[in-house]
Structure 1
Amino acid sequence: MAYEFANCLIDPEKHLFVCDGLPVHLEPQVFDLLLSLVGQKGRLVTKDDLVKTVWHGLSVSDATISARINAARKAVGDTGRAQAIIKTVHGRGFQLNVEVRAATAAAQTLDLAHSDTQNIKFTRSSLGARIAFSKSGNGPPLVRVAHWLSHLELDWHSPVWRPLIETLDGKNTLYRYDQRGTGLSSRDLEGADIDAFADDLKAVADANNLNRFPIFAASQAVPVAIRFAQKYPERVSGLVLYGGYVKGRALREAAQGDIDEETILGLIRAGWGKADSPFVNAFSTLFMPDATPAQLASFVKMQTETISPENAARLRQIIDRFDVSEVLVSIRAPTLVIHAISDAMQPVEQGRILASEIEGARYVSLESRNHVPLPQEKTWTTMMHEVRFFLDSLQL
């Protein structure tokens, strides 16, 4: 449910905050703090309450809380002196000073129109596959390679993916696309292999006249990006590789914590897209064990809207057989490898192999267990800083 207060609207499902009719970017902790205040509708929210809901029980200083409160005040047009909207109750906590009400349908439609600025088009790839792609932001080009479960329209309002999109297109023109078999692209996976997925990336680059560009790739998109960089080295100026792998789970020796292919396929076939299924909860938890209820609900909705259970199982069988182990030594593009240490979907050893075999690659490990990066994690800031620094360095 979206809420209105003063001249603002906040929508947790879309991770959207609007003030004076215009969307405003909020850091994840500031968004969650403001949502906590709104949810109490004028009742007192103690510092302990904020630590529990915003920082998930982690130890934080009063200075950190004060900094986030100040950022929230700035976002709503308030100040610490005026406290017209966010009031400090000294020694106890904080509360909203204004009425909170459920947002009207008209208000939500208006605000969505303001924030919906991506431009979706289509192109053709190999074997006649129709590939949907989008463009957002301004600045030097950056291509985000399609990965497991994407949908250009749903991602745009997802509490999981929207923060990442906003970070990537904050200083770049971001090009995203749905890989064949998913989202708005052709659902046919006939003949699909790693070269076909690399063709999809090339088709999007060609359609946008991108001759040379950096790539952001996560999970299964990592071997696709590597394959593309091997085939077209002159077109890749840099690689950001998050949570990726060298060999798919069907080909590699099982590492500690690695999950076998049959377990994954069994969870897909038993509970795909069923919000009340224990199988889908188990499956979702593998990807993001620290997700909020809203993020998990978004993940389940993505399943039903993106791909059928049969195609989901087929796609996993395809990507679990990707193997770029023989081509890593040929990659010469500047490369940043990031991996969560306790990733259950792709073991950290795979990230270390990537970084050790690609010449000159920089490696960053995250103290996290989430395969999907979540904006409420402490490691989110570290990851985004590393990505931004790397992309900026390519412009020097």
Structure 2
Amino acid sequence: MGGAVYHFGQYELDTARRWLSHGGQQVHVEPQVADLLCHLVEHRDRVVPKEELADTVGRGRTVSEAALATWLRTARLAIGDSATRQQFIRTVRRRGYQFVAHATVASTTPPATPSVRATAAEADQEVIRVCRSVDGTRIAYAITGDGPPLVKTANWLSHLNLERTTPMWAHWFDGLTRGRQLIRYDERGQGLSDWTVPSFTLDDLVDDLHSVVDAIGLDRFPLLGVSQGGAVAVAYAARHPERVSRLILTASYARGQQIRAGNDAERDAAEVDLNIARAGWRSQDSSFLRFFAAQFLADATPAEWDVFAAFSRQTTSPANGLRFLEEFTRIDVSSVGPQVTCPTLIIHSRDDARVPVAQALELATLIPDSRLVLLESRNHLFTAADPAWPAFLSHLYNFLAEE
């Protein structure tokens, strides 16, 4: 099997270079351990007999059971697994070992001719590719489905390898690929993109989006922005009017909380909110993360908030979480909103607990050719059970059909 890059959880395994990394940082392992991991991941569709694994790792030399057991234990430790936990490598009694975690395959070489059409095999396997942003930051992106393209800007929190199965995002993924080819990517500092990056400015985020659509070879496309991804979408549409055919913004805002604060009371509230977030993300305290989840999913259950909190921990580091929050509270695209020339649809929950509906009204005022739809919901991110969810999809697809 040729060299490929596999993603599972927060790990990346490059089988060509025998290179294991976690969150963009190399995990140093012995060559035998790397060989063992590569063989199990490449043959994850079956149980690998102990003899075959010993043969592969030994490369023709005799390997004792004790040595194989040591390398197996080291491999498990390297990926956060253990003999009892076995979330990645499962022992199948009397038969051997099998890699059981969901893994996605990222292409190590770009296609010779840029194309937005994924093959059936790629759509089934969720192939993830990587491009470089202007400053060299590695950005992971995925192309799924078939039909006209729909580009979704990255928004925090995201993780290409996890969001298809997490309750807060799975229905978004399914809903946005109905007759469409969905292009999405992980923001710098999170998911499968580089976690160690020099800055998180709005210009950086716009450059990341530009790098993705250029890598794919898209000339003109509709663009969807969710939450702070809406500000990125507005800035991109203003900067590249020739590329964006239609703009859809949901749960979005033109100005972050600190920027839009108009008096001392609002400025104090913005600072208190940021300080609470700083304390919570530094400590990773579960009670704070549940409070944080409630702002995004106001009508969810406590159990669903805990799932959100667990997903949050997997998407990025606490240090990056803080950098995101501090940058987003200072976002301001109010000056470029009037420069957006494409038709724009703005959809917002009437009682959004995270971003007030006044921000949707401001966007509708700023963007000349825009229309605003308010849906009955308290959720910042529409849940699968939210009555507003099918309404959101209906408005989105009717708007795209007008192209």
Question: TM-score if structure 2 supplies the norm length?
Answer: 0.66
**Could you tell me whether the CA contact under 8 Å between 1:275 and 1:300 is conserved in 2?**
no
State the distance in 1 between where 2:343 and 2:206 align.
19
Determine the structure 2 residue equivalent to 1:352.
361
> Aligned runs of 1:1-396 on 2, under 5 Å?
117-253=125-261, 260-272=269-281, 277-293=286-302, 295-394=304-403
Q: Counterpart amino acid of 2:194?
A: S
Rate the CA distance shift 1:380–1:127 in 2: closer, same or farther, 3 A: same
Deviation at 1:263, TM superposition (A): 3.6
State the distance in 1 between where 2:311 and 2:282 align.
8
**Could you tell me whether the CA contact under 8 Å between 1:254 and 1:260 is conserved in 2?**
no
User: Which structure 1 residue ranges, 4+ long, deviate > 6 Å from structure 2?
Assistant: 109-115, 255-259, 273-276
Deviation at 1:275, TM superposition (A): 8.4
SS at structure 2 position matched to 1:234: coil
Q: Counterpart amino acid of 2:189?
A: G
Rate the CA distance shift 1:338–1:123 in 2: closer, same or farther, 3 A: same
State the distance in 2 between where 1:177 and 1:296 align.
24
Q: Counterpart amino acid of 1:299?
A: F
Q: Which whole-Å deviations, capped at 9, do the CAs of 1:33-89 have from their partners, x for residues lacking one? A: xxxxxxxxxxxxxxxxxxxxxxxxxxxxxxxxxxxxxxxxxxxxxxxxxxxxxxxxx
State the distance in 2 between where 1:201 and 1:122 align.
12
Deviation at 1:119, TM superposition (A): 1.5
Determine the structure 1 residue equivalent to 2:110.
none
Q: Which whole-Å deviations, capped at 9, do the CAs of 1:154-208 have from their partners, x for residues lacking one? A: 1111111111111111111101100111111111342331111000000110111
**Could you tell me whether the CA contact under 8 Å between 1:273 and 1:304 is conserved in 2?**
no
Rate the CA distance shift 1:166–1:197 in 2: closer, same or farther, 3 A: same
Moved more, 123-132 or 293-302: 293-302
State the distance in 2 between where 1:378 and 1:300 align.
23
Moved more, 112-121 or 217-226: 112-121
Deviation at 1:310, TM superposition (A): 1.8
**Rg larger in structure:** 2
Deviation at 1:297, TM superposition (A): 3.2
Supply the RMSD in Å over aligned alpha carbons: 2.8
**Could you tell me whether the CA contact under 8 Å between 1:259 and 1:344 is conserved in 2?**
no
Residue correspondences, number: 289
State the distance in 1 between where 2:278 and 2:398 align.
41
Moved more, 284-293 or 165-174: 284-293
SS at structure 1 position matched to 2:258: coil
**Could you tell me whether the CA contact under 8 Å between 1:264 and 1:283 is conserved in 2?**
no
Deviation at 1:369, TM superposition (A): 1.0
State the distance in 2 between where 1:254 and 1:287 align.
24
User: Structure 1: any 5+ residue segments left out of the alignment?
Assistant: 1-104
State the distance in 2 between where 1:390 and 1:356 align.
19
SS at structure 2 position matched to 1:364: strand
State the distance in 1 between where 2:230 and 2:394 align.
20
SS at structure 2 position matched to 1:368: coil
Q: Which whole-Å deviations, capped at 9, do the CAs of 1:93-150 have from their partners, x for residues lacking one? A: xxxxxxxxxxxx99xx699999953221100002211100011111001111000111
Deviation at 1:339, TM superposition (A): 0.8
Report the identity percentage.
Answer: 38
Deviation at 1:243, TM superposition (A): 0.8
**Could you tell me whether the CA contact under 8 Å between 2:132 and 2:138 is conserved in 1?**
yes
Rate the CA distance shift 1:303–1:330 in 2: closer, same or farther, 3 A: same
**Could you tell me whether the CA contact under 8 Å between 2:166 and 2:311 is conserved in 1?**
no
State the distance in 2 between where 1:183 and 1:267 align.
24
Moved more, 334-343 or 247-256: 247-256
**Could you tell me whether the CA contact under 8 Å between 1:239 and 1:334 is conserved in 2?**
yes
Rate the CA distance shift 1:307–1:254 in 2: closer, same or farther, 3 A: farther
**Could you tell me whether the CA contact under 8 Å between 2:153 and 2:233 is conserved in 1?**
yes
Deviation at 1:277, TM superposition (A): 2.4
Question: TM-score if structure 1 supplies the norm length?
Answer: 0.67
User: Structure 2: any 5+ residue segments left out of the alignment?
Assistant: 1-89, 93-99, 105-120
Rate the CA distance shift 1:266–1:167 in 2: closer, same or farther, 3 A: same
**Could you tell me whether the CA contact under 8 Å between 1:189 and 1:315 is conserved in 2?**
no
